[in-house]
Structure 1
Amino acid sequence: MRFLLLSFLFLTSVLTANAQLFDQQDSKILNPVKWTAEVEQRNDSIYDLVFTAKMESGWHLYSQEEVAAGGPLPTEFNFNAEEGNYELIGETREPDGVALFDPVFEMNIKYFEDEVEFGQTIKVKPEALPTVEASVFFMVCDEEQCLAPETVPFTLSLAAGRALETVSKVEISEEDHAKTAALNINVKGAAGVELEEEEEAGYMSLFFLGFIGGLIALLTPCVFPMIPLTVSFFTKGARTKKRGLVNAIMYGVFIFFIYLLLSLPFHLLDSVNPEILNNISTNVTLNIIFFVIFIFFAFSFFGYYEITLPSSWSNKMDDKASSFGGILGVFFMALTLAIVSFSCTGPILGSLLGSSLTTDGGAMQLSFGMGGFGLALALPFALFALFPNWLNSLPKSGGWLNSVKVVLGFIELALAFKFLSNADLVQHWGILKREIFIGIWVIVGIGLLLYLFGIIRFPHDGPKTKLSKGRLFLGFITLAFVAYLIPGLSNTHHANLKLLSGFPPPLFYSIYEKETEGPLGLKAYKDFEQGVAAAKVQNKPILLDFTGWACVNCRKMEEQVWSDPAVFDVMQDEFILISLYVDDREQLPEAEQFNYVRPNGTVKEIRTVGDKWATFQTLNFRNNSQPFYVLMDSEMNLLNKPVGYTPDADKFLDWLSEGVKQFNR
């Protein structure tokens, strides 16, 4: 539905608080996965190690299979088989399954919900019953967020046949205790967290988009001439004026319900399997089919051929309308209109259907869109029947109707590449990198511009005439749109086309080699202590950014919110940005690795950069979701409440400005 809005527009042109920091009730630490392990003996030397993960509702755990760049981190099991008392037989097993659509990463990924078992077979050497040390590294997500990856250790006794209820055998040194204490920075200040959830488009907005689509369909040569003809038939051909009005109104009502009924099969699909439309939306084959169909639609609108339903269908409906008469006859007349106008309405309906399926719209959203479309087609027949004098104000049919079709053809051509882009992103072919996609749109826009100014022509165009004001106006709108697209071809901060955010391929899917220092070219410290030292030297507040390489909402914030000029300027000029990646698998220098002692006495091994910053976030801010933003000074004083995902640039700017004011006080 998002890119329907773009196409139609293309056509028409945190509160502060003084409470004690993070009371237990304010804790945002999530722990949705519980692991257990047991041992099953096959014979004297062969054992099966079984690891079971139970997840809370709504959360899912990822497969061990590697995922392409931009996806989550796979689950990973490690064993101490190198000690020589046993050997691993084969790989760690997991249940079979197919890749499903993941709403966080917007790609097909194999994952597990509710409960899942992993198995590893081992062969024990003669006269050895070792204790198996194992660990699982995993990442979990729900539909809105992902948690920082965790490592859970297991100590399995082959003799007891179960995992031992003991703390890891790692000895805790004085240095471990010192580094554990150093991880706590003793934050002081405001309490609580305000998370902003991404707002979903309401049903009425989708209805409105469908309505706009129906209005556009009214301006096509297949529908527009039918308005005066049909209204005249009802108002003049009926026995009484009242009967003519009733028939015309019922004609409009039936048009509305016919298009509404077209979405019914997709409700049946939804009831069979709620995820089927999600699977359709990222299906490579279907996206390629839509790409081909939209190209086919485009050239039909250009006038090279007509797409029509079999004439026998319309003839049969026309015969039934004549034979039945009355209300039933009016219904078949409405059905006849839907069939004979398909060559013009079909491509627009295809856009509505395709966009609903490929943006996870679902059947209900599709129904609202189709209902809006049908209402827009139906209204003129009812209104002109009630006010027949309005017919005199309608413009005459002519070449302008064909121009509308050609303009729609260019829009269909541009939208076709969105479907090809979907397939390209899922498969990582590298065919439609962001700049190539935008370049194609520039070419399509130039083609439309040349057509509107009369430089290129199509088969059904009439003789050349003086350019109308409408053509000139739309031509200049098209020129402005092409000019807006051109910076998207560059490797500058202007390449982030905010109005099209989420429609072209993401910024990182680029032909250019991107900087990794910080998002959007911002100076970002990857180490907390280095960032604090810089803040002291420059006397600036700190923007602490808990993020992740595989965090989709983090990328959305960077591309859609941080890129706002006002937000970007404040972040660049007023703050020291410290970006801490909680899923970074880079090993820490050996001198910096340690065993973190939790308050309950259990131990977490800090071996990677991600281990350190994920633990740092949980310990100091009682929150383990990303993105998570904190404003503080170099003395560890919070300047206002931390926030999470905040897709509104104005709200995020207000939050930043509030922090700056508090710092200056």
Structure 2
Amino acid sequence: MKKLIVLLISFSTVVLNAQTETNPVIWKTSIEKISETEYDLIFKATILSQWHLYSQYNPEDASLPLTISPADEHPEFTLIGKARESKTYKEYSDTWEKEELFFKDTATIIQRIQLTDPAISVVKLNISGQVCKKVCIQVNEDFTFSLDGKAIRDIPVSISEKSAKLSNQLKLDLKNTQLLKEEANTTSKDGLLNLFVLGFLGGLLALLTPCVFPMIPLTVSFFTKQSKNKAKGISNAILYGFFITLIYILLSLPFHFLENIDPQILNTISTNVWLNIFFFAILVFFAFSFFGYYEIALPGSWGDKMDSAAGIGGIIGIFFMAITLAIVSFSCTGPILGSLLAGSLTSDGGAMQLSAGMTGFGLALALPFGLFALFPGWLHSLPKSGGWLNTIKVVLGFLELVFAFKFLSNADLVVHWGLLKREVFIGIWIVLFIGLALYLFKKITFPHDSPDKKVSFSRISFGLLVISFIVYLIPGTFKNPAWELNLLSGFPPPQFYSIYQQKSECPLGLNCYKDFDEGLAEAKRTNKPILLDFTGWACVNCRRMEENVWSDPAIYNSINSAYILISLYVDDRKELPKNEQFDFLRNNGTLKKIKTIGDKWATFQAVNFQTASQPYYVLLSPDLEILAPPKQYTNKNDYYNWLQKGIRK
């Protein structure tokens, strides 16, 4: 076995920029030789206090993660895997509704490379990303490494006259820039709480299924009657409920393990078109099991083994009784858990949201065992098992189908198949809910339904509620609906993804400019203030602001009548015309190639507003005076009051 000689080359390169609030990260670099063709390129960052530099594993649709790539177009080396990182910290972001992964104070990043040409002596790497405190500043720097330890002769970087001219056009002569330093307050719903509540509701539904409901009085009676005294029976029932909750929390732990290996893995797979198609197929499969065409069950031997272990007695026996319940009830709880799993993994919170949902589900499932043990008299008020339990299963089957088409819609939007335009999607929901109404009125039946044709008052009441919802949905298929489906915001495809021709390609049909210079010219012509909207096609919070905040009549009217709206998409991958592509020379002497529309507007945002966050809103006068502190994700009242500041001035 050959021994590799590890040689540490002691030189280091110090980035000479002073560390300030506008330059919160300074870097030192060094090299460690691993073999004749492999080297570790080491980056050590010193981060200004209270600033966060985001890891390369930070989730998507959040603060920008670090990316490491060759700085040259045709490098004579390859990167070996992702870089190793020093200690990172996790913190839940209310703005992005997910856990973010970042460095604070210091960071060490080690990227291994392999030479494809052993004769080269100099390599260049680029690091890009984001560092944030109250505002975010883009990180984008090139580093040059000498592999043989010889001094590197700096070659002055120059750009063409064309690039210099186009670069200067990006820079604005802004006035009142001190307002940029004020915090852009953000508010958001607590995503974890939302998933906990949804999981809890799912658990309550599971209680009403034929696999679980009959178990409640039997299990509670077992604990209260078999124990030596009432207090012991109550404590055992409560312990049983605790173990049920614990079991469902434990089911989410493997997903945390995956996230620790690569914190982006859940978000990566969740945005995959084929995974969304898989979730569509699995929910359809679950739905037909609820309809009674087949049963989904875990191997019977598992339940037998757990049941035998439950006979041990004591705390261990109670724990195995809880596992037995989880196994034998799987045919009813499995589809609900499957929906919860799919919904969590395709949301932005990943494993943490899954754990929150599982906790809510387990708690709801466990709650009656503790409550009925404390108040055994309540058992007499429970309705008897019967055909109504199967009715609930079938209703859940229809709901599974409804949610299944949401995942198919996600896949359709990602690849632009054009199969499930907004009106088609809503039409499918209408058909499914008509089917549910027909079932509730016993016009259609499923395998396990009773032959009794009498329709109960509860079925009539729920059927009328479903019909009301169908009536609510129907206008969503029209070109000009009588009302918007605000209650369903985020479920159907966006309004512009329509079978009908839209009057504009801007949010909510507003008039907007997607080029800053064109919008500025219109603002000067009309003497109106500018609402500058830094957004993105893949920006989740941008869509939420447009659908839930901009749609408010007062806000919509203010934007439409009082402002010139300029929406700049920083992730637009459409290439600029060749004559508009250029090299941008950064303050640190490095180059950034501006090839796409997104490259241009992301650089424009970073240069003028020292941030790379979206959504990011700025109010400007036609002569480029900043009228109020910038705004990000927020609520209707705050946003409306903020808009008024620009109008009053």
Q: TM-score, normalised by structure 2?
A: 0.71
Q: Offset of 1:302 from its aligned partner?
A: 0.9
What CA distance in whole angstroms lies between the structure 1 residues aligned with 2:462 and 2:407? 26
- Residue 439 (structure 2) pairs with residue 443 (structure 1): no
Query: What SS does structure 2 have at the residue aligned with 1:324?
Result: coil
Give the corresponding residue for 1:222: 211
Q: Is the 8 A contact 2:542 2:614 kept in 1?
A: yes
* Contact 2:292-2:446 at 8 Å conserved across structures: yes
1:165 maps to 2:155: yes
The secondary structure found in structure 2 opposite 1:629 is: strand
Structure 2 residue aligned with 1:20: none
One-letter identity of the residue aligned with 1:437: F
- Give, as a single letter, the amino acid of the residue that structure 1 aligns with 2:328: V
| 2:377 pairs with one of 370, 384, 389 | 389
**1:414 matches 2:394:** no
Cα distance in 2 for partners of 1:607, 1:426 equals 23
Higher relative contact order (CA 8 A, sep 6+): 1
Aligned partner of 1:656 among 622, 643, 647: 643
1: CA distance, partners of 2:325 / 2:610: 62
Q: Match for 1:378: what amino acid?
A: A
The answer to whether the aligner puts 1:349 opposite 2:345 as a matched pair is no
Deviation at 1:523, TM superposition (A): 1.4
Q: Which amino acid aligns with 1:461?
A: D
Map of 2:295 onto structure 1: 306
- Aligned partners of 2:485 and 2:28: how far apart in 1? 44
Q: Secondary structure at the match of 2:617?
A: strand
Letter in 2 for 1:523: N
Moved more, 513-522 or 51-60: 51-60
Q: Distance in 1 between matches of 2:131 and 2:489?
A: 23
Q: How much does 1:617 deviate?
A: 4.8
SS state of the match for residue 437, structure 2? helix
Match of 2:451 among 419, 442, 463: 463
Q: 1:297 aligns with which of 282, 286, 302?
A: 286
Flag the 1:525–1:306 CA change in 2: closer, same or farther, 3 A: closer
Q: Which of 503, 507, 514 is matched with 1:519 structurally? A: 507
**Residue correspondence of structure 1 range 255-274 to structure 2 within 5 A:** 255-274=244-263
Once residues 283 and 602 of structure 1 are traced to their aligned partners in structure 2, the CA distance between those partners, rounded to angstroms, is: 35
Task: Check the 8 A contact 2:79/2:113 in 1, yes or no.
Answer: yes
Residues 80 and 114 of structure 2 are in contact (CA less than 8 Å); yes or no, is this contact kept in structure 1? Answer: no
Match of 1:562?
550
Identity of aligned residues (%): 54
**1:141–1:476 distance in 2 versus 1, CA, 3 Å:** farther
Q: CA deviation at 1:408?
A: 0.7
Matches of 2:155 and 2:503 in 1, distance apart? Answer: 47
> What is the CA distance between 1:613 and its match in structure 2?
5.8
Offset at 1:222? 1.6
Contact kept in structure 2, 1:523 and 1:577, CA below 8 Å: yes
Question: 1:15-30, aligned counterparts within 5 Å?
Answer: none
Consecutive unaligned residues in structure 2, runs of 5 or more: 1-17, 30-40, 48-52, 59-66, 83-92, 99-107, 118-123
Taking the aligned partners of 2:77 and 2:324, their CA distance within structure 1 comes to 58
Match of 1:58 among 54, 60, 67: 54
- Alignment RMSD (CA, Å): 5.6
Task: Give the C-alpha shift of residue 451 in structure 1.
Answer: 1.6
When residues 395 and 568 of structure 1 are mapped into structure 2, their CA distance, relative to the original with a 3 A threshold, is: same
Distance 1:35 1:615 in 2: 25
Deviation at 1:328, TM superposition (A): 4.3
Aligned match of 2:184 = 195
- Give the deviation of 1:650 after TM superposition: 3.0
Deviates more, 1:275-284 or 1:457-466: 275-284
Equivalent positions of 1:26-175 (< 5 A) are: 57-58=53-54, 95=79, 164-168=154-158, 170=160
For the residues of structure 2 that align with 1:325 and 1:416, how far apart are their CA atoms?
42
Q: CA deviation at 1:379?
A: 2.2
Name the counterpart of 1:48.
none
Go from structure 1 to structure 2 and tell me whether the alpha carbon gap of 1:325 and 1:202 turns closer, same or farther (over 3 Å shift).
same
Identify the range of structure 1 (52-61 vs 326-335) with the bigger mean alpha-carbon deviation.
52-61
What is the CA-CA distance between 1:141 and the residue it aligns to?
6.4
Structure 1 window deviating more from structure 2 (620-629 vs 371-380): it is 620-629
Give the match's secondary structure for 1:655.
helix
Residues 52 and 118 of structure 1 are in contact (CA less than 8 Å); yes or no, is this contact kept in structure 2? no
Residue 542 of structure 1 corresponds to 530
Q: Identify if the C-alpha distance between structure 1 residues 78 and 267 changes in structure 2 by more than 3 Å, giving closer, same or farther.
A: closer
Q: Does 1:212 align with 2:201?
A: yes
**Distance in 2 of aligned mates of 1:488 and 1:221:** 36
Q: Is the 8 A contact 2:541 2:633 kept in 1?
A: no
TM-score, structure 1 length as denominator?
0.70
Q: Could you give the per-residue CA deviations for residues 138-188 of structure 1, whole angstroms, max 9, x where no partner exists?
A: 98568999988989899x9xxx99674324164699x96997699425457
Structure (1 or 2) with the larger CA radius of gyration: 1
Instruction: Tell me the alpha carbon deviations over residues 43-72 of structure 1, each in whole angstroms, 9 at most, x when there is no partner.
Output: xxxxxxxx999999426599xxxxxxxxxx
What residue number does 1:472 align with? Answer: 460
Q: What amino acid does structure 2 have at the position aligned with 1:652?
A: Y
Deviations 1:598-625 (A, max 9, x none): 8899999999877776666556545454
Contact map agreement 2:180 2:609 (CA 8 A) in 1: no
Q: Tell me, in whole angstroms, the C-alpha distance in 2 between the residues paired with 1:257 and 1:583.
A: 42
Matched to 1:519, the amino acid is P
- 1:437 Cα offset (Å): 3.4
Q: Distance in 1 between matches of 2:180 and 2:619?
A: 12
Match of 1:252 in 2: 241
Whether the 8 Å CA contact 2:188–2:633 is kept in 1: the answer is: no
Q: For 1:582 and 1:520, how far apart are their aligned partners in 2?
A: 20
Change (3 A) 1:335 1:526: closer
* C-alpha distance in 1 between matches for 2:189 and 2:452: 47
CA contact (8 A) 1:489 1:495 kept: no
Shift in Å, 1:306:
2.1
Q: Answer yes or no: is the 8 Å Cα contact 2:70–2:126 preserved in 1.
A: yes
Is the Cα–Cα contact under 8 Å of residues 131 and 138 in structure 2 kept in the other structure? no
Write the mapping of 1:459-608 to structure 2, written as runs, cut at 5 A: 459-490=447-478, 497-506=485-494, 511=499, 518-528=506-516, 530-532=518-520, 534-535=522-523, 538-547=526-535, 553-580=541-568
Find the residue that maps to 1:544 and give its secondary structure. Answer: strand
Residue 557 of structure 1, CA deviation: 3.3
Displacement after TM superposition at 1:265 (Å): 3.5
CA contact (8 A) 1:561 1:567 kept: yes
Deviation at 1:474, TM superposition (A): 2.7
Q: Give the secondary structure class of the aligned counterpart of 2:196.
A: helix
User: Any idea what SS the aligned residue of 2:628 has?
Assistant: coil
Shift of 1:404: 0.8
Whole-Å Cα distance in 2 between the matches of residues 504 and 542 of structure 1?
31
Contact preservation (8 Å) 1:29, 1:623: no
8 A contact 1:179–1:596 mirrored in 2: no
Name the residue aligned to 1:10.
Answer: none
SS at match of 2:449: coil
Stretch deviating more after TM superposition (358-367 or 336-345): 358-367
Which moves more between the two structures, 434-443 or 211-220?
434-443
Q: How many residues align?
A: 595
Q: Structure 1: 5+ residue runs without aligned partners?
A: 1-24, 37-50, 63-72, 80-89, 107-112, 123-134
- Secondary structure of the 2:181 match is coil
Letter in 2 for 1:657: Q
| Alpha-carbon separation, structure 1, partners of 2:71 and 2:616 | 28
1:406 Cα deviation (Å)? 0.7
Counterpart amino acid of 2:565?
Answer: L
Decide whether aligned partners of structure 1 residues 560 and 75 sit closer, same or farther in structure 2, where only a CA change above 3 A counts.
farther
Deviation, structure 1 residue 208:
3.2
**Cα deviation 1:115-157 (Å, max 9, x = unaligned):** 77999999xxxxxxxxxxxx99998568999988989899x9x
* CA distance, structure 2, for counterparts of residue 178 and residue 337 of structure 1: 66
Aligned counterparts of 1:297 and 1:178: Cα–Cα separation in 2? 56
